[in-house]
Amino acid sequence: MHYGIIPKTLQASKQEKSNASRAIRNRVYKNIITRGTCVVCGSDDAIAHHYDYSKKLDIFWLCSKHHLGLHRAERNNGWASYEMV
């Protein structure tokens, strides 16, 4: 799986990030959506990741290791440098 660099227009404010995270957390708590497994390694201990915070329910699940790796790559070189295999 390969994701491109986030355009400036998709970079979110802290409030947008908070709202998107809350939307997922509440739906998981209410069993409206089911927590997924990491799309890379299949770990059950996965965290929701938003590519675009304005699309609150458009997520994919990553374990802590791959979630951190994705953010580290995005911060350093853009997502284009991070291959999730």
CA end-to-end distance (rounded Å), the chain: 7
In a domain, 3, yes or no: no
Please count the structural domains in the chain: 1
- Alpha carbons within 13 A on the beta-carbon side of 28: 15
In a domain, 24, yes or no: yes
Residue 2 backbone phi and psi in degrees, to 5 = -140, 130
What pLDDT does 2 receive? Answer: 44
Residues 23-80: tens digit of each pLDDT: 999 999 999 999 999 999 999 999 999 888 888 899 999 999 998 888 787 777 665 5
In a domain, 32, yes or no: yes
In a domain, 29, yes or no: yes
In a domain, 60, yes or no: yes
DSSP state of 80: G
In a domain, 2, yes or no: no
Q: Which residues form the domain of 72?
A: 8-81
0.75 exceeded by pTM: no
Quick check: 8 pLDDT over 80? no
* Gap between the Cα atoms of 80 and 5, Å rounded: 6
